[in-house]
Amino acid sequence: MNPPSKIDYQIMWNRLIAVVEEQATTLIRTAFSTSVREAGDLSAGLFDRRGRMIAQAVTGTPGHVNAMAESVTHFIREIGALNMFEGDVYMTNDPWMGTGHLHDITVVSPVFRAGRHIGFFACTAHVVDIGGRGFGPDGTEVFEEGLLIPIMKFAERGVVADVLIKLVRANVRAPDQVVGDMYSLAACNAAGERRLQAMLDEFALDEIDGLADYIISASRDATRAAIAALPRGRFENTMQVDGYDAPVHMQVALEIAADRVSADFAGTSGMSKFGVNCPEVYTRAYACYGLKCAIAPQVPNNSGSLEPFEITAPEGSILAAKRPAAVSVRHVMGHLVPDVVLGALHKAIPGQVPAEGASALWNIQISARASDAASGLPSAEVLMFNSGGTGARPCVDGLSATAFPSGVSTMSVEATEHVGPITVWRKELWANSGGAGRQRGGLGQIIEIEPRAGYDFYFNAMFDRVHHPARGREGGQDGAPGRVALTDGTALRAKGRQLVKNGQRLRLCLPGGGGYGPAQERDPQDVANDLAAGYITGQETPSPLGSDGKNKEE
């Protein structure tokens, strides 16, 4: 039989995207946690025998996908080729071997054909609880943050490791959900393998090495061609963000060469004492994503298209945290990384990248507890993902209440209220929160949450852009900073575990994105449309920042 032609490989490449999309859909349909089935906080992909990612599902987050692109090689090294068998499933949530914190479980399954190992399917999902302090920034070591599962076998030759299941169930607050998600992850990979085997039958292939080489080579060449069109040189940017107990200085230097782009985060603040630290694998994932979005957005994401981007951060900095640093909410720093690199890239290609946005998700983990311990009311863990506004783009307004760069969806109010005893009384766009400009920044939103009768709740705040709002670009104004308070006006902290008692109501005002270009250049019809839609009111949103830069509400 003649080897496949380039046309054959292109057809198979398109088919692989459908394969991994079905893989991801299986996870969404079978997941127990709302973070997966409602928000799409997951990743799914196909890898060759060497651990190179050759296809990823469109559904998913860059932090999971691009970190997973590295993690499969760790599985290959730790498990060993001689210890891999048909029916095996491997698992870890090690932050430095996986996707950056303990709440993400990565599952890898080897694929065999005619008794020969040909590749891997891998997937990742955020689970609702992993024990320890819970999903929040208050830990000072990773040991406090929950159960760490080293790279190990979830199943060998199709037999699930019962001891692992028992250990997990004994260490988490929501054992049915967490163990259910573990099985869902394994089922996700199995669904991908079934579709892959059917495709290989159709094309009469026994392996995917040739297809992998074609995909990776074509993607690498296309990305390098896009880089070659950029101006050469060194471009720098800095950004100040809230941090936990002290502001964090983020700094990057981009070096654009003929065939690659390097980003060095030297000069960035050192590690925090608390759980906002970010392992370097997660920093690389989001730095690559930000650069690729701007430079080569049409090239499919795989190991080939990622290869021309080199990302480094000084070991021991907040963007390259060392064990055993606390890393539970590493997304807060990680989601801000694209704003830093895009700010540097703007100096190389002005007029092509957006203004800064809210960027970091305003996740909130709620632990509902009976007000009277003797009442017998059950406890519940509730996780919500919420988003502020994105930065305005050079020719288009920013998106309101939209997750960028993470790309996850917000859980519906109805699904969230079904999980635990809370009521979401208010969820609406926040007028005037988008930075003014020729193009307006995306709006944040206002959310109000109250415990139901008989309950109080603790919530873990992990919010940023409260003291350092998203900056406008090219004369555009900053977005509104975020605010955290009770509806009676009591100010609360933007990070850390806090109590909302029965009868009280939590109010979150999520930050807006920065504007682009001078506000006086905005089309009068766009202003009229904003007024009619209630996006602006003709009055400025009062800033919670005083002249000393401190929050008036705190």
From residue 23, how far is each of 20, 98, 124 by CA, in Å?
5, 19, 11
pTM, entire model:
0.93
62 cis-preceded (ω within 30 degrees of 0)? no
* Residue owning tokens 């406890």: 379
* Kind plus residue range of the DSSP H or E element containing 218: helix 209-228
**Alpha carbons 165 and 161: distance in angstroms, whole number:** 7
How large is the angle between the packed helices 175-202 and 162-171, nearest 10 degrees? 140
- What is the chain's mean pLDDT, rounded? 94
Which residue(s) pair with 152 in the sheet?
91
pLDDT at position 253:
98
Band of pLDDT at residue 60, cut at 50, 70 and 90: confident
Residue 551 has pLDDT above 70, yes or no: no
The DSSP call for residue 2 is: P
Q: Could you write out the three-class secondary structure of 247-284?
A: CEEEEEEEEECCCCEEEECCCCCECCCCCCCCCHHHHH
Band of pLDDT at residue 387, cut at 50, 70 and 90: very high
Asked whether 195 and 19 are in contact (CB, 8 A), the reply is: yes
Band of pLDDT at residue 550, cut at 50, 70 and 90: very low
The tokens for 469 are: 């709002």
Band of pLDDT at residue 540, cut at 50, 70 and 90: low
**Alpha carbons 241 and 227: distance in angstroms, whole number:** 29
pLDDT average, residue stretch 190-201 = 97
Residue 548 has pLDDT above 50, yes or no: no
Lowest mean pLDDT among 383-392, 418-427, 432-441, 531-540: 531-540
pLDDT average, residue stretch 456-465 = 97
pLDDT at position 553:
35
Lowest mean pLDDT among 275-289, 439-453, 533-547: 533-547
CA-based angle 284:289:290, to the nearest 5? Answer: 105
pLDDT average, residue stretch 5-9 = 91
Residue 544 has pLDDT above 60, yes or no: no
* Kind plus residue range of the DSSP H or E element containing 451: strand 445-451
Q: Taking the CA of residue 482 as centre, how many other CA atoms within 13 Å lie in the half-sphere pointing to its CB? A: 36
Lowest mean pLDDT among 322-326, 366-370, 406-410: 406-410
**Alpha carbons 172 and 136: distance in angstroms, whole number:** 15
Query: Checking DSSP bridges between strand 364-370 and strand 309-312, what pairing results, if any?
Result: unpaired
**For residue 551, what are the contacts with CB-CB under 8 A and spacing of at least 6?**
466, 467, 491, 544, 545
* Residue owning tokens 């920042």: 545
pLDDT average, residue stretch 314-341 = 98
In tens, the pLDDT along 102-127 reads 999 999 999 999 999 999 999 999 99
**Alpha carbons 263 and 234: distance in angstroms, whole number:** 10
